[in-house]
Amino acid sequence: MLAQQKQDITALFQAALAPILAGTEVTANVVLERPRDPSHGDVACNVAMQLAKQLKMNPRELATKLVDALLADPARNGLIDSAEIAGPGFINLRVSAAAKQSVVKTVLAQGAAFGSGDAGAGKKVIIEFVSANPTGPLHVGHGRQAALGDALSSLFVSQGYDVTREFYYNDAGVQIQTLANSVQARLRGFKPGDTEWPESAYNGDYIADIAADFTAKKTVSASDGSPATASGDVEDIESIRAFAVTYLRNEQDIDLQAFGVKFDNYYLESSLYSDGKVDAAVDMLNKSGKTYEEDGALWLRTEDYGDDKNRVMRKKDGTYTYFVPDVAYHIVKFQRGFQQAINVQGSDHHGTIARVRAGLQAVNVGIPQGFPDYVLHKMVTVMKGGEEVKISKRAGSYVTVRDLIEWSGGGDITKGRDAVRFFLISRKADTEFVFDVDVALKTSDENPVYYVQYAHARICRMLEQWTGDEASLANVDLSPLTAPTEAALLATLAAYPETLARAQAELGPHQIAFYLRDLAANLHSFYFAERVLVDDEALKAARIALMVATRQVLRNGLALIGVSAPNKM
């Protein structure tokens, strides 16, 4: 059912309960559910069983009173056909055919807005994802973050939230120095395998590419920040570092562009230090009384906030541990006015959750408990030609996002992007995923993204054969839509807004992929069971309207996850 229909049925129950609850202190929470067995009806409600004891009534007796009142209410006409009492006091309702069919006109009227909600109106949310260190190309784990984070952002936007997509660059620390040392070793003529090659160095071909461009004194630019021009001096380690970081940030920009992901803001870890945000956070923690010194180190009492042990903030050498700038960064997020912050990260970040949240509570500036939220994803295994792919020449030690897009598209970047994005959100984030490139290349129902896109293309082909005016469908009579496959399509279309609302609330964009597969399955079942372009004009018009509505919802869902909806396959 549509949300408005649920609200109307809830209102019917509230009206039926009003005289029964009058003069009592009993309040009712009407919950509508779908019966486990469809033969029992369309809607089930157990409010009679919930209230019977408080009202000192037999549950079936109370259910009978409610059913009688509900059926006598004129407001149920056109919405509820019948009501039955089952078992100890369940109330099962059957929704009218007209109410079920009305979803078609709702979709046609709302178009691309169908499924949108306003639960997040006036609320600011920041969703941080990818946030790859600028030390190499984006790997498939970053790809999963990109797919999850972008789809999650679109979900929040669909529900009325003011969303900021943010990329956090860890552009400081040991890994950046290792990058600079790796490029410098290449500049000196060394390569992986040479005795002079640093043991900790990065081995991918991209290091040689950076060295070549540095020697040529090229200028590179990233999506934000100042351009970097190489000095060409092999001893100028600062120029090597700045050039290599900007070079790789630009490479990551290219990968993200190929993946169809755009960010609203880029935040540099180095700015937390240069702007004094880390020192300010440490000062707040010291003033809170939650820190102490021991063995030459500064500690935070994270045990007070549920962590398994207290954590070192500042080491003996005076440097901060990695969670301290994270605390500073999230204080900044809160100060920027975001009521909710969501981090999409790899499952290896699980250990940081308790200490970051502890630090945010310890500063005592009003940050709510549970801030930020985390969506942690597990690893992706890539299969190609029946074998696991573990390394990439481009990266040296892992499969890159660019590799995956190129392999999965067979030379077609759009096809590759569609496959990678759909596949990488098609499982819950906390489950491991096997990405089979051979499946992504198949043009059959074994390939889930092809299966969904083909449903859209199949409808487009039907409508080309019809050659009618879609505007004429606004007032079509939908009563001929009575076949079982039509009923399944109608029910699935009606479930779309609720699916989006639930996926957003549960931070589960995978639910969109599940829904699209179900909708495509219902469309394909309809296609093989019924004809659209029949001689009966009324039936033909109703079925065409159903097809146009289904095409629209397929488009809406695919757009949310950044996947195209081709007219031809």
Rounded-to-integer distance, Cα 136 and Cα 207, Å: 8
- E strand or H helix that includes residue 485: helix 484-494
Residue 132 burial (C-beta neighbours within 10 Å; 0-12, 13-18, 19+): buried
Residue 178 and residue 90 in one domain: no
E strand map for 310-379: 311-314, 340-346, 373-377
**Residue-level pLDDT at 543:** 98
Q: Domain check: are 454 and 555 in the same one? A: yes
156 inside domain: no
**Closest by alpha carbon to 550, among 469, 496, 501?**
496
Q: Are residues 554 and 458 in the same domain?
A: yes
The first and second tokens of residue 143, run together, are 């790809």
Tell me whether residue 40 is in a domain. Answer: yes
On whether residue 103 sits in a domain, the answer given is no
- Is 203 within a domain? yes
Q: 218: phi > 0 → left, psi -120 to 50 → alpha, else beta; which?
A: beta
Give pTM, 2 decimals. 0.92
Last residue of a domain, which of 78, 95, 112?
Answer: 95
CA trace torsion 503, 506, 510, 512 (10° rounding): 0
Specify the pLDDT at position 392. Answer: 62
Rounded to an integer, what distance in angstroms lies between the CA atom of residue 492 and that of residue 499?
Answer: 10
In a domain, 272, yes or no: no
Distance CA 378, CA 349 (A): 11
Residues 457 and 550 in one domain: yes
d(CA 42, CA 12): 16
**C-alpha distances in Å from residue 523, one per residue of 239, 485, 549, 552:** 58, 8, 11, 13
Q: Is residue 84 part of a domain?
A: yes
Domain stop point among 75, 95, 115: 95
Question: In total, how many domains does the chain have?
Answer: 3
Q: Are residues 447 and 556 in the same domain?
A: yes
CATH of the domain at 20: 3.30.1360.70
Q: What is the CATH number of the domain that holds 484?
A: 1.10.730.10
Asked if 509 and 503 count as a contact pair (C-beta separation under 8 A), the reply is yes
Continuous segment of H or E residues that includes residue 95: strand 90-95
Q: pLDDT digit of tens for each residue in the chain (569 aa)?
A: 898 999 999 999 999 999 999 999 999 999 999 888 888 899 999 999 999 999 999 999 999 999 999 999 999 999 999 999 999 999 999 999 999 999 999 999 999 999 999 999 999 999 999 999 888 889 999 999 999 999 999 999 999 999 999 999 888 778 899 999 999 999 999 999 999 999 999 988 899 999 999 999 999 998 877 899 999 999 999 999 999 999 999 999 999 999 999 999 999 898 999 999 999 999 999 999 999 999 999 999 999 998 989 999 999 999 999 899 999 999 999 999 999 999 999 998 898 999 999 999 999 999 999 999 999 999 999 999 999 998 765 566 788 899 999 999 998 999 999 999 999 999 999 999 999 999 999 999 999 999 999 999 999 999 999 989 999 999 999 999 999 999 999 999 999 999 999 999 999 999 999 999 999 999 999 999 999 999 999 999 999 999 999 999 999 999 999 999 999 99
Q: Does one domain contain both 450 and 548?
A: yes
Q: How far is CA 259 from the centre of its chain?
A: 15
CB atoms within 10 A of CB 39: 6
* Count of beta carbons in the 10 Å neighbourhood of residue 272: 24
In a domain, 166, yes or no: no
Q: Give strand pairing partners of 268.
A: 169
Does residue 546 fall inside a structural domain? yes
Domain around 23: 3-95
Assigned token pair, 18: 């009003």
Distance of CA 133 to the CA centre of its chain: 22
